[in-house]
Amino acid sequence: MNQLNALKQFSIIVADTSDIESICKYKPEDATTNPSLILQAVSSSINQYFVDQAVEYAKKKGGLYKEKIINASDKILVDLGIEILKKIPGYVSSEVDARLSFSTEECILKARKLIHLYEEEGISRNRVLIKLAATWECIKAAEELKKDNILCNLTLLFSLAQARACAESNVFLISPFVGRIYDWYVSQNLLSKSFIGKDPGVISVCKIYEYYKKYDYKTIIMGASFRNIEQILYLSGCDRLTISPVLLKELESNTRKIERHLNPPSVISVAPLPLSEEEFRWEHNQDPMAVQKLSEGIRNFGKDQLSLEKIFSKKI
C-alpha cells in the first residue's frame, strides 16, 4: 500500500489545489482553495471559459465599475468551487477577501453573498466552507454565520490563542499552518532543517490536537501548509490534512510503512473559561512568529485578490 492510501486510514485527505486534474487523480474527500490558488487557476488558459463567464455575469448584474470587478471576482471563485465539487464527495473551501479580515460585519456580508451565489447554482451550503483569516473579527463572524448553517474554515492559524478562540466560538474547522511556521523559524536561524521531531510547525499542530481532544472540542483540525511529506506523516491521525498535488504525488509514489502519531486521550477534562477579546489579543501577541505570519498572510492574500481584480478590470 502506498503512503497516501495508508494515510487515508488515519486522517481525511483534502486536496490543497484548484487544479481539477489533480483532484480527479488523487480522489480527496474535500478540496481547499485560497486567493493564490484562484489567481493561479485564472491565469491558466484552460480556465478562460470561467473568466469570460464571470465577466459576462458582472456586466449583466450591472452597477458601478468597482462593483462589477468585485462581482466578477466573487463569481469565478464560486464557479471554480462548483467545478471542484463535481469531482469530490465533501466540502470545498472558498475564501473571503483577506482585506475584510478586520471587519466582522463585512466578512458576514461577503460570506452570505458567496453562499447565495452557490445556492443560485443549486449547490447546498452544506457543501461549502467559507474561509476566513483567524483574526478575532473573523472568528466572531464564523460564530455568527454558523447560526445560519454557514460553516467556516479559519485559516492563517499560527497560535494556540487563535485555536482556542475558534474552539470556544464553536467554529466548524481550523487550518493550522505547519510550513509557514517552519519557514519563519528557519529564516530566524532558530531551527535545524534536519530533525522533523523538532519542527515547530508540527509541534504547534500537535499541541492544538492535544488541547482540543483533552477538552473535547468539536472543531475539526485540518493541518495545512506542508513543506515535505515528513511533516504530513508526523501528523497522521490529525482530523484532516490538506495537501498540495506535489506532495500528494510523493506520498502516492512511496510505499514505506507509516504509523498513526496522533491519538485522542482516554480522559476528557473540563474546558477552561473562554478567552475574552483582550485575553485573546494579549496571548496571540506573545508569539512574534504568529503575529508576523498572520499579518503577512493577510497582506499577501490581499495582494493576490488585487491581482485577480486587475485581470477583470481589463475585461470589464
What's residue 194's pLDDT? Answer: 60
Q: Is 131 a catalytic residue?
A: yes
Q: What are the b/e assignments for 85-99, b being 16+ CB within 10 Å?
A: bebbeebbbbbbbbe
CA-CA-CA-CA dihedral for 284, 288, 294, 298, to nearest 10: 130
Give residue 267's pLDDT band: very low, low, confident or very high (50, 70, 90): very high
21: exposed, middle or buried (C-beta count within 10 Å: 0-12, 13-18, 19+)? exposed
**Residue 210 in this model has a pLDDT that exceeds 70:** yes
What's residue 197's pLDDT? Answer: 63
E strand or H helix at 211: helix 200-214
Mean pLDDT across 16-33: 94
How far, in Å, CA of 295 to CA of 12, rounded? 29
Mean pLDDT across 240-264: 97
Q: Which long-range contacts link 50-54 to residues 24+ away (Cβ below 8 Å)?
A: 50/76, 50/79, 50/80, 50/83, 51/76, 51/311, 51/312, 51/315, 53/79, 54/79, 54/312
Work out the mean pLDDT of the chain and round it to a whole number. Answer: 96
What's residue 84's pLDDT? Answer: 97
96: cell is: 473571503
- Residues with Cβ within 8 Å of 143's Cβ and at least 6 positions away in sequence, in order, are 169, 170, 171
Q: What does the pLDDT look like over 156-193, one tens digit per residue?
A: 999 999 999 999 999 999 999 999 999 999 999 887 66
**Residue 252 in this model has a pLDDT that exceeds 80:** yes
Nearest CA to 14 out of 83, 78, 87 is that of 87
Handedness of CA 10, 182, 35, 308 (dihedral sign): negative
153: cell is: 474554515
Mean pLDDT across 219-229: 97
3-state secondary structure of 121: coil
How far, in Å, CA of 79 to CA of 66, rounded? 20
CA-CA-CA-CA dihedral for 114, 116, 120, 122, to nearest 10: 80
Q: What does the pLDDT look like over 62-120, one tens digit per residue?
A: 999 999 999 999 999 999 999 999 999 999 999 999 999 999 999 999 999 999 999 99
DSSP 55: H
216: cell is: 473535547
Please tell me which residue in 68, 75, 131, 293 is annotated as part of the active site. Answer: 131
Q: Which CATH architecture has domain 3-313?
A: Alpha-Beta Barrel (3.20)
Neighbours of 221 (CB within 10 A): 27
48: cell is: 478562460
What's residue 195's pLDDT? Answer: 60
What's residue 13's pLDDT? Answer: 98
- By percentage, how much of the chain surpasses pLDDT 70? 98
3-state secondary structure of 67: helix
